[in-house]
Amino acid sequence: MREESIEKLRGVVRDCVSKHLYSSAIFFADKVAAFTSDPADIYMQAQALFLGRHYRRAFHLLNASQIVLRDLRFRYLAAKCLEELKEWDQCLVMLGDAKVDEYGNAIGLKDSNVMYLDKDGEDREINITSAICFLRGKANEELENRAEARKWYKAAIKADPLCYEALERLIENHMLKSEEESSLISSLKFAPEDKWLSSFYSCLIKKYDKESMVEAKFRKLEQETCDNNTASLPVACTLKNNTDLLACKAEYYHQSGEYQKCFELTSALLERDPFHLKSTLVHLTAAMELGHSNELLSLSHFSIFRALSWFAVGCYYYCIKKYGESRRFFSKATTLDGTFLPAWIGHGNAFAAQEEGDQAMSSFRTAARSFPGKYHEAVSYYEKALAISTRSLSTYAGLAYTYHLQDNYDAAITYYHKALWLKPDDQFCTDMLTVALVDECRSGSDHRDGSH
């Protein structure tokens, strides 16, 4: 067959993929690969098989080719097949040996044979090293090795700032402390045309700076424009009404305790995009703070995310003070998604509402171990609040409780005492001070036993 005919068939395969006609894509890609034996065409066939969910066939095709040992893109696609098959250990083996240096950069991930595979490639691609680092992070997270996962996610975003998924995992799974997030963003090397992305990322991370600084970040991003002259009339397009950006702003309102402003913004966002996950979660937590039980119940039926649906039901029962039922549904949410931090906190709060301190502490400690960044940022938040007012019972109690969750008993006891100095009859602080004293004694006893 002539080269022009082969190229036309390649175009047919690409068009089938763009139209999601995967069986057709597989059929024609197989014929092209048979005619040419070109590695690029074998790769195209494997891609078609992968997109058609024939993961075993795609993996066998790639693994049978010796190119998989020499080209990172072959190896990456083979590892993606193993990801879909949930064979996480084999996925890591396929990705090969690699390390992260002291600066957080991946080393040992170089193509030994550079090959032009995509005959219809885009002008700009995400670095294959970044994609491999991200997949290593995901595999480690699935194997419950969060420390390794965190390391590889950081390596992924450093290898290519366009690998948003790595940053999303780090932020949404609370893998970094607030200062670590800021440090990571500032270390990224953005291309000149991606300065807007640097601003956007800075809005995504935890927002515990001064209010004026946070608002300035949002204003800067909202003023980013792109001149669009395609329709004869010049139009300045901006991100001002972008759903992701407005969801970040809603999250900021929630963190600032402005629940009504948060609720109004998320309500508008969900009318526009009813299935936007971050907006839905922030909307639920704002509704619970405001006591909007009917809103919680309606969202529990509407959400397509099962863990989020159970979380909404848990929030509803918490709102109407049926704490036993609330715990049951929060537990269902954490069973479906063990990384769903709000459900862990809700589970602990439901125990605490019924003065079941030991069980509450157990839930909170699980959250503290799994999501270290969340509790370090809470300490920072409370300390900043104390700089504004030194006579806040709730701030002292919150700081004491956070230190208690981190097993820092000395600091916890100190701040429980400071809270009780402001209000000697506060039942929560009285009870938790007793628990902290017992925990400190037990910890001291365990330490002494271990030293013999």
Q: What is the CATH number of the domain that holds 175?
A: 1.25.40.10
Give ∠ CA 415-417-419 in degrees, rounded to 5.
70
Domain of 413? Answer: 373-451
Give ∠ CA 128-132-133 in degrees, rounded to 5.
115
What token pair was written down for 96? 């090969």
Contact 374, 341 (CB under 8 A): yes
Asked whether the CA dihedral 378, 384, 386, 389 is positive or negative, the reply is negative
Tell whether 366 is covered by a domain.
Answer: no
pLDDT of residue 99: 87
pLDDT of residue 187: 93
Tell whether 326 is covered by a domain.
Answer: no
Instruction: Give the other-Cβ count within 10 Å of 222's Cβ.
Output: 18
Domain boundary among 130, 152, 184: 184
pLDDT of residue 59: 96
Tell whether 352 is covered by a domain.
Answer: no
Tell whether 52 is covered by a domain.
Answer: yes
The 3-class SS string of the chain reads: CCHHHHHHHHHHHHHHHHCCCHHHHHHHHHHHHHHHCCHHHHHHHHHHHHHCCCHHHHHHHHHHCHHHHCCHHHHHHHHHHHHHCCCHHHHHHHHCCCEECCCCCEECCCCCCCCCCCCCCCCCCCCHHHHHHHHHHHHHHHCCCHHHHHHHHHHHHHHCCCCHHHHHHHHHCCCCCHHHHHHHHHHCCCCHHHHHHHHHHHHHCCCCCCHHHHHHHHHHHHCCEEEECCCCCCEEEECCCCHHHHHHHHHHHHHCCCHHHHHHHHHHHHHHCCCCHHHHHHHHHHHHHHCCHHHHHHHHHHCCCHHHHHHHHHHHHHHCCCHHHHHHHHHHHHHHCCCCHHHHHHHHHHHHHCCCHHHHHHHHHHHHHHCHHHHHHHHHHHHHHHHHCCCCHHHHHHHHHHHHHCCCHHHHHHHHHHHHHHCCCCHHHHHHHHHHHHHHHHHHHHHHHHHC
pLDDT of residue 271: 92
pLDDT of residue 84: 97
Cross-strand pairs, 225: 238
Q: How far apart are CA 166 and CA 96, in angstroms?
A: 19
pLDDT of residue 361: 63
Residue recorded with tokens 């208690």: 404
What token pair was written down for 328? 């049951």
pLDDT of residue 227: 54
Q: How many domains does the chain fold into?
A: 2
Instruction: Give the other-Cβ count within 10 Å of 193's Cβ.
Output: 8
Q: How far apart are CA 393 and CA 423, in angstroms?
A: 7
Domain boundary among 135, 169, 184: 184
Tell whether 276 is covered by a domain.
Answer: no
pLDDT of residue 83: 97
Domain boundary among 154, 169, 184: 184
Asked whether the CA dihedral 351, 339, 369, 282 is positive or negative, the reply is negative
Tell whether 258 is covered by a domain.
Answer: no
pLDDT of residue 212: 67
pLDDT of residue 450: 54
Per-residue pLDDT of the chain (452 residues; tens, 9 = 90+): 788 999 999 999 999 999 999 999 999 999 999 999 999 999 999 999 999 999 999 999 999 988 877 889 999 999 999 999 999 999 999 998 888 887 788 887 665 444 544 444 455 688 999 999 999 999 999 998 988 999 999 999 999 999 999 999 998 888 887 788 889 999 999 988 888 898 899 888 866 566 667 777 788 777 776 655 555 444 456 788 889 999 999 988 887 778 899 999 999 999 999 888 889 989 998 998 888 988 888 877 765 578 888 898 999 998 898 989 999 999 998 888 877 878 887 887 787 777 676 676 666 666 666 666 566 656 655 565 566 557 767 668 778 887 887 778 898 899 889 889 988 887 778 888 888 898 888 876 555 455 54
Tell whether 239 is covered by a domain.
Answer: no
How far CA 434 is from CA of 243, 396, 400, in Å, comes to 47, 16, 12
pLDDT of residue 297: 82
> Under 8 Å CB-to-CB from 380, ≥6 apart: which residues?
178, 179, 208
Tell whether 112 is covered by a domain.
Answer: yes
Q: Give me the half-sphere count of Cα atoms (radius 13 Å) on the Cβ side of residue 203.
A: 26
